[in-house]
Structure 1
């Protein structure tokens, strides 16, 4: 079945986003305990591009499929997990990029470079790292993986934060400072 990307984020209501999230069925990678552990010979560059044995993976459907199998352990190691294999994958910065943002009804919805949609909140926190002169903003995605906000999405979030007294944002019931600690 061909892949149909969700509509432009700006055209989606919060209810539309919730319905799309409900309809997306991701593999339960956190429950699988495969016997074979190895190396995938794959790398996710800081710019979000995926490579296998040095060659760029150019098919977006392949990237989306692999991304649905990702998890990051407590030590920061990323893995591609299937019921039969657990393969390490090198990640230069974050496994995903947040490439768009929409604020609606006090919620922040992000679109990732894989077309995944994520609503920031307690299960998907926004964190600031780096230093005040060059911060890096991340969004929790799933299974320990994160997305780094690209420049335009960072600018969108900063505009929202500038409206607050303390350079922070709120999404749902969660409050996130955008200044690195």
Structure 2
């Protein structure tokens, strides 16, 4: 079976109904890797060239699946390995409703996804080898978005101190839950 970006796009279009496809229910055979890469800045590349059609990249993003540390594009009949440099999504903005403990933060990605920061879509802040923070929010089914710099600075502006088990953390509230931005 020959796999190409066009064959994947055709299969996605044929299988897609309303909303996101049920990739968690699809378990087709692995068909090999395809030269598709998602760069750290959220740009999708095919054969080393940026995918210029945003709608095509968005279409591919709807069938993205993570298994362990590997990423795949999955259709009902194909499972194709792709490369992700950091996170498959880039969170480019967020909305805030309410204040402090009653606030809700909703993140938006460059691919058109949205996720409310809550227990099912947690915030994670890793530290890069350079010492820089690398903040992520889960978008869906184990797929994370790297939070862009301007949005992270906005999060820091919203940050409050909160004590957990006698230790004070700096973080944000969303959906009734506290999410730490720093280690103690």
2:145 to 129, 140, 147: 147
Other-structure match for 2:25: 31
TM-score by length of 1: 0.81
SS, match of residue 179 in structure 1:
coil
1:117 to 114, 124, 143: 114
1:83 equivalent in alignment to 2:80: no
1:179 equivalent in alignment to 2:173: no
Structure 1 position 103, deviation (Å): 1.1
Give the Cα–Cα distance (whole angstroms) in 1 for the partners of residues 30 and 85 of structure 2: 24
Other-structure match for 2:6: none
CA deviations on 1:15-36 (whole Å, 9 max, x unpaired) are xxxxxxxxx7100001101124
Structure 1 position 102, deviation (Å): 1.4
1:44 equivalent in alignment to 2:44: no
Largest Rg, 1 or 2: 2
Give the Cα–Cα distance (whole angstroms) in 1 for the partners of residues 133 and 30 of structure 2: 38
Give the Cα–Cα distance (whole angstroms) in 1 for the partners of residues 177 and 80 of structure 2: 34
Other-structure match for 2:56: 62
Contact 1:40/1:80 (8 A) holds in 2: no
Contact 1:101/1:157 (8 A) holds in 2: no
Structure 1 position 133, deviation (Å): 4.2
TM-score by length of 2: 0.79
Show structure 2 runs of 5+ residues with no match: 1-17, 163-168
Other-structure match for 1:168: 171
Change (3 A) 1:159 1:88: same
Change (3 A) 1:80 1:171: same
Runs of 4+ in structure 1 over 6 Å off: none
Structure 1 position 143, deviation (Å): 2.0
